[in-house]
């Protein structure tokens, strides 16, 4: 019938010597240079790389949405440049922000894409049933897409892309902003497609644990292909260089910060109770050399993983970069407040007859890093908006630094910094203009103003982008800019709503280094995230589901609560999923 039905022996995608440059503000940006690779049928290939590596550009070139400067792309035997319409009819592509029509229902979105993809009418009913049961959206076919949670939206986007089964599926960061439960489900779908239908999948991701689930990994950096191969091959290169360090009695954030600066250490991240380190040399480190002056330290070798290799390779290319030297921001006044900083009691918020938040109670002490976790749509953002005084609660009471920000004088807001989930700075302004504006909005004038802006540009490594429009920044830099803007006035309390969503692992390490440093200064941080390994950085956290508090405690408490006979030592992700699933079952039962 169509070209796609014809057999393609072996190679589905052949990318050869692709280069692409963009013009941005009069500067030429090399997005891709001389990239070549081949993709065979029935495999999941991960496209991994830091922000601005050229992942999205590569996806768009393959989909025929951009023209390469040089080189050729052959998709299913067709040239992506010349026969782009034919290519587009035969592949599935889900862009980073899949444009669902939010005012159309799930079923209507599916109908639209079935029409556009030319799925014959008689095949539709069966195909819809299959897709809906695969994505678990069967009960929601009549719901408007705009009212689905973030994870459900991604699954619907995938279903729309798959409405006519393609031979090659391109997914651009399909799991950004998706909670762990939905993420697991998305991966189950991808595996099923490959197994049952022999589809080939190329996906980009910022989650490095996902890279390990791929058959093959393409490592992209600054527009160049650094390496390709099975993820285990990448990891095995680091055999003998990875260790787990435990120092009982020491705050693990502090331990991690000290280890990052320790000699011979390339990388250090918190992992459960311990800190995982990667050494420059395959030699077991001495406790005294790593942490001079500290008592009990246990060091044990562990198996390397893909993330270690990724960080090692990327850091090798940025030798001058020393992310651990995080300068303390100049203090502009105010002493650390002791005691309880945030108090929430029986907080509720209703939209019509739907409770977004219901009877939520918790309190946060000064200097604490406090996490708010939950599936998409659990009410985290609504809680943040109420705490910041953007939304009046329907019931209950809340106190931030002793006041309700909605009713308090404007100056009370100078104590908080807020970073919203969606990028919300002025895209038409440059980086510097954005910082200037927020510094002024927070009341900085004269010399402190200039100093603070200069501090932000330097600290967040934004200097080279100072004159660029905010809209043209890569996602990771947008997040940095947003954090910088929220920190202009040296707030005592920080509200960070998914600050690391879509940010590459390097930038995330820097980000958490900053959070740790701030917490040491007594700044209180409230944060939401979908990266479960980041939860380990929190002192305490709450897990929310359908607007209600499910569990409150330290990461260890949460994990202990989820421990079972099969999983005596669950990871944070296992614990989270177990808690959410148990809650779902309870709800179904009642």
Partner 1 sequence: MNPDVQNRGGSRMRLRGLLRKEFLQIIRDPSSIAIALAMPVILLLLFGYGVSLDAKHVPLALVVEQPSAEAASFTAAFNASEYFNPQAYQDMRSAELALMAGRVDGIVRLRGNFVSRLVRGPDAPIQVVVSGMNANNARLIEGYVSGVWRSWLTQQAGLAGRPLAVPVSVEQRVWFNSAVRSKDFLVPGLIAVIMTLIGAMLTALVMAREWERGTMEALMVTPVSMREILIGKLVPYFALGMGGMALSVIMALWLFGVPLHGSLLLLFLCAALFMLAALGMGLLVSVVARSQFVASLVALVTTFLPAFLLSGFIFDVGSMPHVVQAITYLIAARYFVSILQTLFLAGNVWVIIIPNALALCAMAAVFLLVARRRSHKRLQ
Partner 2 sequence: MNGLWQRALALALKELRTILRDPRSRFVVFGPPIIQLLVFGYAATFDLNNVKYAVYSEDRGEAARQLLAGFSGSPHFRLTENIQRQQQIAPLITDRDVLMVVHLGPQFSRNLAMGRPAAVQIIIDGRNSNTALIALGYAQTIVNQFNRDWSQSHGIAGPPASLQTRAWFNPNLESRWYFVPGLAGLIVLVVTLAVTSLSVAREREQGTFDQLLVTPMTPLEILLGKSLPGMLIGVAEGTFILLVAVFWFHVPFKGSLLVLYSGLLLFLLSVVGIGLMLSSLCTTLQQALLGSFLFMMPAVILSGFATPIANMPQPVQWLTLANPLRYFLVIVHSVFLEGASFSVLINQFWPMAAIGVISLASAGWLFRHRLY
Residue 18, judged by CB atoms within 10 A of its CB (0-12, 13-18, 19+), counts as buried
Applying CB under 8 A, the span of 94-102, 300-308, 311-319, 411-419 interacting with partner 2 comes to 411-419
CB 507 within 8 A of CB 343: no
Residue in 424, 464, 521, 569 binding partner 2, rule: CB under 8 A: 424
* Binding partner of residue 351 among partner 1, partner 2, none, CB cut-off 5 to 8 Å per kind: partner 2
Tell me which H or E stretch contains 155: helix 150-161
CB 502 within 8 A of CB 532: no
* Binding partner of residue 422 among partner 1, partner 2, none, CB cut-off 5 to 8 Å per kind: partner 2
Q: Is residue 353 a contact point for partner 2 (CB under 8 A)?
A: no
Q: Is residue 385 a contact point for partner 2 (CB under 8 A)?
A: yes
Q: How far is the CB of 330 from partner 1 (least distance, A)?
A: 37
Applying CB under 8 A, the span of 17-25, 69-77, 168-176, 408-416 interacting with partner 2 comes to 408-416
Q: Is residue 357 a contact point for partner 2 (CB under 8 A)?
A: no
Q: At what angle do helices 555-562 and 572-589 cross, to 10 degrees?
A: 60
d(CA 57, CA 59): 5
Closest CB to partner 2 among 259 and 493? 493
Closest CB to partner 2 among 144 and 429? 429
- Tell me the helix, strand and coil percentages in the chain, rounded to 5: 35, 25, 35
Q: Is the four-CA dihedral 150, 153, 155, 158 of positive or negative sign?
A: negative
* Binding partner of residue 22 among partner 1, partner 2, none, CB cut-off 5 to 8 Å per kind: partner 1
Residue 410, judged by CB atoms within 10 A of its CB (0-12, 13-18, 19+), counts as exposed
Q: Is residue 590 a contact point for partner 2 (CB under 8 A)?
A: no
Residue in 67, 232, 441, 586 binding partner 2, rule: CB under 8 A: 441
Q: Is residue 332 a contact point for partner 2 (CB under 8 A)?
A: no
Residue in 443, 464, 569, 585 binding partner 2, rule: CB under 8 A: 443
Closest CB to partner 2 among 120 and 443? 443
Token readout for 113 is 């894409």
Token readout for 559 is 């994990």
Q: Is residue 1 a contact point for partner 2 (CB under 8 A)?
A: no
* Binding partner of residue 153 among partner 1, partner 2, none, CB cut-off 5 to 8 Å per kind: none
Q: Is residue 425 a contact point for partner 2 (CB under 8 A)?
A: yes
Applying CB under 8 A, the span of 244-252, 326-334, 410-418, 553-561 interacting with partner 2 comes to 410-418
Q: Is residue 23 a contact point for partner 2 (CB under 8 A)?
A: no
Q: Is residue 355 a contact point for partner 2 (CB under 8 A)?
A: no
Closest CB to partner 1 among 57 and 516? 57
Angle at 571 between CA 570 and CA 574, to 5 degrees: 75
Closest CB to partner 1 among 203 and 364? 203
Q: Is residue 8 a contact point for partner 2 (CB under 8 A)?
A: no
d(CA 573, CA 155): 20
* Binding partner of residue 85 among partner 2, partner 1, none, CB cut-off 5 to 8 Å per kind: partner 1
Applying CB under 8 A, the span of 29-37, 428-436, 509-517, 542-550 interacting with partner 2 comes to 428-436
Q: Is residue 356 a contact point for partner 2 (CB under 8 A)?
A: no
Q: Which of helix, strand or coil describes residue 436? A: helix
Closest CB to partner 2 among 411 and 564? 411
Closest CB to partner 2 among 144 and 561? 144
CA-nearest of 403, 393, 368 to 526 is: 368
Binding site residues, partner 1, CB under 8 A: 1, 22, 60, 63-67, 84-85, 88-89, 91, 93-95, 97-104, 108, 111-118, 144, 157, 160
Distances (CA, A) of 264 to 300, 311, 449: 16, 15, 39
d(CA 569, CA 131): 35
Distances (CA, A) of 385 to 351, 391, 394, 493, 529: 14, 6, 13, 14, 16
Q: Is residue 24 a contact point for partner 2 (CB under 8 A)?
A: no
* Binding partner of residue 455 among partner 1, partner 2, none, CB cut-off 5 to 8 Å per kind: none
Q: Is residue 467 a contact point for partner 2 (CB under 8 A)?
A: no
Q: How far is the CB of 88 from partner 1 (least distance, A)?
A: 5
CB 492 within 8 A of CB 334: yes
Residue in 103, 331, 335, 445 binding partner 2, rule: CB under 8 A: 445
Contact partners, residue 173, CB within 8 Å, separation at least 6:
55, 96, 203, 204, 205, 206, 502
Q: Is residue 390 a contact point for partner 2 (CB under 8 A)?
A: yes
Using CB under 8 A as the criterion, what x/- string covers residues 167-206 for binding partner 2?
Answer: ----------------------------------------
Token readout for 447 is 């010399």
Residue 451, judged by CB atoms within 10 A of its CB (0-12, 13-18, 19+), counts as middle
* Binding partner of residue 17 among partner 2, partner 1, none, CB cut-off 5 to 8 Å per kind: none
Q: Which of residues 473-532 bind partner 2 (CB under 8 A)?
A: 485
CB 104 within 8 A of CB 144: yes
Distances (CA, A) of 114 to 100, 163, 327: 14, 6, 54
Strand 540-545, strand 369-374: pairing:
parallel
* Binding partner of residue 445 among partner 2, partner 1, none, CB cut-off 5 to 8 Å per kind: partner 2
Q: How far is the CB of 385 from partner 2 (least distance, A)?
A: 7
CA-nearest of 173, 231, 160 to 504 is: 173
Binding site for partner 2 (CB under 8 A): 351, 385, 388-392, 405-406, 410-414, 416-418, 420, 422-429, 433, 436-438, 440-443, 445, 485
């Amino acid at each position: 019938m169509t070209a796609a039905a014809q057999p393609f022996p072996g190679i589905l995608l052949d990318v050869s010597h692709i280069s692409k440059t963009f013009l941005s503000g009069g500067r030429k940006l090399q997005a891709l240079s001389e990239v070549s690779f081949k993709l065979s049928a029935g495999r999941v290939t991960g496209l991994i790389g830091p922000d601005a590596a050229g992942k999205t550009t590569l996806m768009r070139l393959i989909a025929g949405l951009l023209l390469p400067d040089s080189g050729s792309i052959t998709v299913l035997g067709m040239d992506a440049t010349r026969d782009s319409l034919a290519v587009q009819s035969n592949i599935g592509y889900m862009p980073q922000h899949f444009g669902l029509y939010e005012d159309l229902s799930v079923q209507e979105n599916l109908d639209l894409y079935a029409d556009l993809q030319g799925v014959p009418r008689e095949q539709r009913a069966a195909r819809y049933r299959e897709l809906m049961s695969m994505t678990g959206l069967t009960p929601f076919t009549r719901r408007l897409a705009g009212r689905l949670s973030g994870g459900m939206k991604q699954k619907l986007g995938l279903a729309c892309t798959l409405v006519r089964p393609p031979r090659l599926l391109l997914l651009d960061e399909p799991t950004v902003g998706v909670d762990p439960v939905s993420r697991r489900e998305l991966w189950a779908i991808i595996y099923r497609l490959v197994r049952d239908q022999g589809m080939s999948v190329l996906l980009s991701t910022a989650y490095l644990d996902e890279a390990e689930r791929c058959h093959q990994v393409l490592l992209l950096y600054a527009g160049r292909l650094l390496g390709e191969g099975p993820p285990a091959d990448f990891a095995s290169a680091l055999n003998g260089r990875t260790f787990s360090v435990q120092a009982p009695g020491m705050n693990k954030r502090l331990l991690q910060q000290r280890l990052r600066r320790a000699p011979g250490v390339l990388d250090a991240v918190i992992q459960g109770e311990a800190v995982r380190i990667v050494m420059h040399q395959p030699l077991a480190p001495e406790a005294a050399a790593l942490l001079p002056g500290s008592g009990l330290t246990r060091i044990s070798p562990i198996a390397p993983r893909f993330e270690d290799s990724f960080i090692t390779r990327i850091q090798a290319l940025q030798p001058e970069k020393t992310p651990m030297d995080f300068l303390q921001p100049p203090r502009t006044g105010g002493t650390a407040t002791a005691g309880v900083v945030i108090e929430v009691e029986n907080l509720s918020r209703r939209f019509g007859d739907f409770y977004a938040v219901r009877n939520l109670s918790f309190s946060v002490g000064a200097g604490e890093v406090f996490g708010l976790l939950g599936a998409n749509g659990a009410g985290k953002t609504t809680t943040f908006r109420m705490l910041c005084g953007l939304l009046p609660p329907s019931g209950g009471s809340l106190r931030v630094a002793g006041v309700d920000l909605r009713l308090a004088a404007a100056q009370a807001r100078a104590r908080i910094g807020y970073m919203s989930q969606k990028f919300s700075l002025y895209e038409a302004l440059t980086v510097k203009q954005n910082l200037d504006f927020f510094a002024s909005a927070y009341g900085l004038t004269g010399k402190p103003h200039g100093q603070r802006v200069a501090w932000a540009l330097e600290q967040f490594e934004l200097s080279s982008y100072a004159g660029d429009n905010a809209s043209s920044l890569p996602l990771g830099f947008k997040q940095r800019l947003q954090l910088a803007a929220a920190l202009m006035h040296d707030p005592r309390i920080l509200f960070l709503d998914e600050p690391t969503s879509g940010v590459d692992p390097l930038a995330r390490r820097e980000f958490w280094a900053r959070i740790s440093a701030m917490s040491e200064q007594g700044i209180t941080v409230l944060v939401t995230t979908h990266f479960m390994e980041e939860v380990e950085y929190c002192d305490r956290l709450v897990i929310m589901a359908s607007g209600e508090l499910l569990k409150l405690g330290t990461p260890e408490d949460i994990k202990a609560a989820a421990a079972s006979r099969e999983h005596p030592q669950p990871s944070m992700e296992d614990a989270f999923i177990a808690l959410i699933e148990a809650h779902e079952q309870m709800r179904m039962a009642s």
